[in-house]
Chains A and B, each alone.
Chain A
């Protein structure tokens, strides 16, 4: 039966080529625009660590004064001051925990003729690599003892290892960063979570290639490397000694195994803040412990423009569908005599309905196919944009399949009304008119 409907549909579509082409192009444009913008949005709002994100949490406390404070309505600051970060780190109440800040590392090449260059650096603590599942090509991370002893150790990224050592095992070699010697203890495999969740509010690195060097926080600080972003909550005169200043510049992440551990950690955090209030250091009691994905949406990582474009594209698709409904309806009403004949010869209403839905489906699939080409074209355009996520804009298999789902659903919705109108038509008047 389906074969017969397909045959009928193709014949009918062939009969009025311009109208058919118009319907297919309309749907294709709507689908192309929607899939392009949706792919970009999915890329931007994706899960940077799918296997781990459910267990990673971002604790926040609020050392601000009571000025402008409304209990329960004021969000704690995004970053932490040094004493709080260290207290929470040393309490070791989570399975793993690390604090971090970003810095610019000036790499000074061994060979005299090469120019020095800057690389994105992370100052952090030992658990960073294990907690974030950062994979090592050679060697490994450093230990908590190295943190305390301010050991001059460094983990470098694959691209830096390629540049400096031609990709060879460089563990044990020494590189010079900001005029200090660091011994390489590990080389990462390619590791660039998208977005770079751990840099949020520490500096402006959202997407892209990943960081180049990872150094123990205390070591880097003792060598006078500063954080990229500092927020002070009281007036400061001495920002040289950031550890003592009323300034927030560290982000902290904890790994918590299950929901009981999350509840425990939250109450630990609340307890810590109460203790700080009792000591007179804190005035506000709010804390937050957002999960990784919650933290990203709190930080509004996804640019507003990207979301706006998706809404716009789907509004566009809606209009395309309405347009297709109109055109299909016109086509179907024009064929009332054919329907009358088929009904008189014994076709049921169900058969007529199916026939018209098959026709709509064919329009949808053709629209989807061309829409896919348009989406590839659109993404090609996106890849030529200067944004740091541009090179990542590709259609994956899920979006590929989703395109056809959207196309079919859109065309079948568009086909519903015309098919319904066709199947309720009474055959007798149509035949009589002839």
Chain B
């Protein structure tokens, strides 16, 4: 196939050629950035938490009366005993937060008490001796808390317990040589806390973008949350009994002590609901981006079909002449396919610059990440296929033009 005659013909249709190329360029720029964003959001949505999600649920329990620290701690203990007695419940614990809650308590972590810029940032969970077992996180080194290590923390009390269990991500950040067990660190206090246990994975309680550099860095302190307003109960149901346990638990708690508030709307949430809620906006964004990508590709495809159809109609006589002079159906088909390929390639060349330009702008405006080359390559393949697909039907029609057309006036 000779390219020269195609170029000569395109020179007579500058505006149309340029428009298709421009449209392909813009589509490429937007589609590959959108695909990248979709991929990032989907990766975020499917982040593992390290906890036994299928069997867990969380109760947000708010106290109806004002309790002192001791009273609140006693009430918490009593509630946990009630929950553990339920048939469908395997274990229960209390905490100030849970993974994927969105927000929560986080502290700067330093290696020395007087260090100015922090080493890292960790999500803080308060848990008792049932915390690890209930959540089903895997202890990979050291030991769990003993019951006598657990202290009560009341209203605006702020102390650093002497021992802690940390996630592997935090342990590796603080002690990269893998010898974190038994070592101390400081958490916004002049008293150290010593690592007595390391768990394989425990997701942070927030899902924000600012904490991406501190992903999965979390610690558990042996503390009973005795705040006067309330506490979260994390409950692990026996396999297959999640729904029943979620129905029974609030009833049992109300039966034991009426002076509490468990919102009938979202006071009891399964972990599946928690995960759904945590990534709602990411899912929305991924869906929106996908729809826009699809519609954009459809529009670009339709535009190519429209303009090529017009060109075919305009050139019927020339096609007839070529056919009369011996060009086969296949020659004509190839002519239009090649023409589209050339225009697509020009558009793609422009589009690659636009795609990286757009990405740089996104990095600057929204501190997103650099676009990996594979997305641009994917976009290029997608658009070439789209162009060839879109041009195929008009090109087929062109190839069926009879040589007799050459004799008819235009």
Contacts and interface: CB of A to CB of B under 8 A. Distances in A.
Nearest to B309: A330
Interface string A370-401: 00000000000000011100000000000000
A268 interface: no
A276 interface: no
Interface string A293-329: 0000000000111011100110110111011011101
B275 to A, nearest CB: 14
A236 interface: yes
A178 B155 CA distance: 14
A308 B26 CA distance: 16
A29 interface: yes
B16 A323 contact: no
Nearest to A418: B15
B295 A29 contact: yes
B306 A19 contact: yes
Interface in B289-319: 289, 292, 295-296, 299-300, 302-303, 306-307, 309-311, 313-314
A111 interface: no
Interface in B352-371: 362, 365-366
Given A226-B156, A386-B277, A304 B310 contact: no
B307 A326 contact: yes
Given A19-B306, A316-B292, A329 B66 contact: no
A334 B313 contact: yes
A297 to B, nearest CB: 14
A309 B288 contact: yes
B300 A385 contact: no
A334 B229 CA distance: 75
A327 B156 contact: no
B189 interface: yes
Interface residues of A, number: 55
Interface stretch (A78-86, A115-123, A283-291): A115-123
B64 A326 contact: no
Contacts of A387: 281
Nearest to B158: A239
B190 interface: yes
Nearest to A18: B306
Contact of A179 (B22, B65, B309): B65
B284 interface: yes
A425 interface: no
Contact of A237 (B20, B158, B277, B281): B158
Interface residues of B, number: 55
Interface string B308-334: 011101100000000000000000000
A68 B116 contact: yes
B300 A319 contact: yes
A204 B102 CA distance: 11
Nearest to B159: A237
Where chain B touches its partner, the secondary structure class is: helix
B139 interface: no
A307 B26 CA distance: 19
B27 interface: yes
B314 A318 contact: no
A316 B310 contact: no
Contacts of A330: 16, 306-307, 309-311
B261 A315 contact: no
B23 interface: yes
A22 interface: yes
B345 interface: no
A329 B19 contact: yes
B116 A421 contact: no
Interface in A208-253: 224, 226, 235-237, 239-240, 242
Contacts of B156: 226, 239-240, 242
A78 to B, nearest CB: 15
B155 A224 contact: yes
A303 B208 CA distance: 12
Nearest to A417: B15
A315 B30 contact: yes
Contact of A326 (B20, B295, B365): B20
B150 interface: no
A433 B366 CA distance: 57
Contacts of A93: none
B410 interface: yes
Contacts of A187: none
A312 B292 contact: yes
Given A33-B292, A323-B23, A235 B188 contact: yes
A115 B306 CA distance: 66
A333 interface: yes
Nearest to A116: B64
B313 A326 contact: no
B51 to A, nearest CB: 23
A312 B299 contact: no
Interface in B24-52: 26-27, 29-30, 34, 37
Interface string A131-174: 00000000000000000000000000000000000000000000
A116 B65 CA distance: 9
B30 A329 contact: no
B26 A325 contact: no
B117 interface: yes
Nearest to B227: A226
Interface in B126-149: none
A421 B65 CA distance: 80
A331 to B, nearest CB: 8
A14 B153 CA distance: 76
Contacts of B16: 326, 329-330
B182 interface: no
A106 interface: yes
Contacts of B303: 26, 322-323, 326-327
Interface string B184-228: 000011100000000000000000000000000000000000000
A411 interface: no
B23 A385 contact: no
Contacts of A434: 409
A67 interface: yes
Contacts of A322: 19, 22-23, 26, 303
Contact of B366 (A117, A308, A325): A308
A316 B30 contact: yes
Contacts of A226: 155-156
Interface in B275-291: 277, 280-281, 284-285, 288-289
A323 B158 contact: no
29 contacts: A26-B299, A68-B116, A68-B117, A106-B229, A115-B64, A118-B261, A226-B155, A226-B156, A235-B189, A240-B157, A242-B156, A303-B281, A307-B365, A308-B285, A312-B30, A312-B34, A313-B292, A316-B295, A319-B299, A320-B299, A322-B26, A323-B299, A323-B300, A323-B302, A323-B303, A326-B306, A329-B16, A386-B280, A433-B410
Interface of B: 15-16, 19-20, 22-23, 26-27, 29-30, 34, 37, 62, 64-66, 103, 116-117, 155-158, 188-190, 229, 259, 261, 277, 280-281, 284-285, 288-289, 292, 295-296, 299-300, 302-303, 306-307, 309-311, 313-314, 362, 365-366, 409-410
Nearest 5 interchain pairs by C-beta: A330-B310, A323-B303, A326-B19, A239-B156, A116-B64
Given A106-B229, A303-B281, A312-B34, 8 more contacts: A118-B229, A236-B158, A305-B281, A322-B23, A326-B19, A326-B20, A329-B19, A385-B284
